[in-house]
Amino acid sequence: MFTPLLPSALMCCPVELRDAILDQLPQSALLHLSATCRYFRQLILSRRQYWQIIELKTSRKDIQPAMLLHFLAALPSNSRAATTEIQIGQSLVRTLPDILVPLLHAFPNLATIDARSPQCLDLLGPLTVSLNGLVKSNMQTRYPKFQRLLLVDKSESRVMACEGSKTQFLARQLSSYLWALTSQGQHDMYVCEGCNEHLADIQYPSPRCAACDEPIIEQSCCLYCSFACEQCGDRFCGECDGRLTDSCVVCHEACPDAHQGFCTHCELDHECSSCHNKMCDAHTDTCMCGAIICSNEDGRCSECQ
């Protein structure tokens, strides 16, 4: 029967074996181990390789910003200098406006803050207020290594709606702040230049055209306004947009700016025998004569009308 390995037993191991065990532990386990005694606290917090990527993720919802800043301040300066990315879990995203500026001050080589969440639009106002003070200074000189702040979660939807004039104004204002803050302007809080209603579909690294495999440089538009397949999301450059077939005629009429078509792998199978346009399953009808028609034909094809 296996028994848990106590910290005291781990201290008695040869140094090579101890380090091999520590290298296999996730960051959360290392944090718990560092809280057991002064020896492991000093050993773990001073190991630069453990803190290149910091994961601030927990299921607890009572964590306050001061608690996170207290933990980060406990890291030695050499460990903080090794950190290039900080990942913030969804339960802690609400603390981002309070900890963003202290993070930039504490981690001189920080390049990425990944705080993607479905609630990113709720952060627009607080983040704008948080960064307002930094806009008046030369931020590129103060944070030359910082490159991108990721806020848009695409796990559920490739494009998040950014409706309402106030929301769009805050998104544009925050976008201008982040542009000044990041030396290369890499963030994902742009408003689409096409429809002006959704957040732009920014991807890292730049997506490649599914047809010619060339990088797609232009990213200032949402998924619906770009040359992208509605089904699989494959994107195409401007020269290869002809590879997209027409979308459903009924869906297109209902929302002409939100449908661009399907790639050759996902194209629609149904074609209306009257208007000869494509239609999806939801808008496909059958005439009394057996002909396949779209729902715009009121149940009868052109021959039976």
Gap between the Cα atoms of 152 and 78, Å rounded:
31
Mean pLDDT of the chain: 78
Instruction: Say if 257 falls within a structural domain.
Output: no
Comparing 47-51, 66-70, 97-101, which segment has the lowest mean pLDDT? 66-70
CA pair distance 68, 64, nearest whole angstrom: 7
Q: What are the tens digits of pLDDT across the range 86-113? A: 999 888 888 899 998 889 888 999 988 9
> Which pLDDT does position 258 carry in this prediction?
54
Closest CA to 196 of 231, 161, 228: 161
Establish if 90 belongs to a structural domain. yes
pLDDT of amino acid 1:
35
Per-residue pLDDT at 179: 74
- Which among 232, 234, 243, 242 is positioned nearest to 209, based on CA atoms? 234
Check whether 45 has a pLDDT greater than 70.
Answer: yes
The answer to the question of residue 100 being in a domain is yes
Helix ranges (DSSP H) in the chain = 7-11, 15-24, 27-34, 38-45, 65-73, 77-82, 96-106, 124-135, 139-142, 165-181, 249-254
Asked whether residue 206 is assigned to any structural domain, the reply reads: no
Residue 162 DSSP label: -
Counting the structural domains of the chain, the total is 1
d(CA 151, CA 294): 40
At residue 115, φ and ψ (nearest 5 deg) are -125, 40
| pLDDT tier for residue 53 given thresholds of 50, 70 and 90 | very high
To the nearest 10°, the Cα dihedral for 255, 233, 220, 101? 120
Q: Which residue has the higher pLDDT, 138 or 176?
A: 176
pLDDT at residue 4 tops 60: no
What is the C-alpha radius of gyration for the chain, rounded to an integer number of angstroms?
26
The model's confidence at residue 240, banded by pLDDT at 50, 70 and 90, is: confident
HSE value, Cβ hemisphere, 13 Å, CA-based, for 62:
0
The pLDDT of residue 15 is above 90: no
Assess contact for 103 and 110: CB atoms under 8 A.
yes
Is 97 in contact with 126 (CB distance < 8 Å)?
A: yes
Please give the single-letter amino acid code of residue 61. Answer: K
Burial label for 24, CB within 10 Å (0-12, 13-18, 19+), is exposed
Question: Which residue reads 């979308």 in tokens?
Answer: 247
| Residue-level pLDDT at 67 | 82
pLDDT for the residue 43: 84
pLDDT confidence of residue 185: 57
Tell me, yes or no, whether 32 lies in a domain: no
Mean pLDDT for 75-92 is: 90
Q: Rounded to 10 degrees, what is the CA torsion of 194, 111, 154, 133?
A: -60
- Whether pLDDT at 59 is above 70: yes
Digit-coded pLDDT (tens) for 245-274:
777 777 766 666 555 677 777 777 777 877
Residue 125 lies in a domain: yes
Mean pLDDT within 115-139: 80
DSSP structure class, residue 48: G
**Residue 74 is assigned to a structural domain of this protein:** yes
Q: Is residue 19 part of a domain?
A: no
CA distances from 239 to 227, 235, 236, 260, 271 (A): 10, 12, 8, 15, 26
Residue 208 has pLDDT above 60, yes or no: yes
Category of 182 on φ-ψ map: left (φ > 0), alpha (ψ -120 to 50) or beta: beta
3 pLDDT higher than 50? no
Model pLDDT, residue 28: 80
Structural domain for 151, as ranges: 50-167+176-189
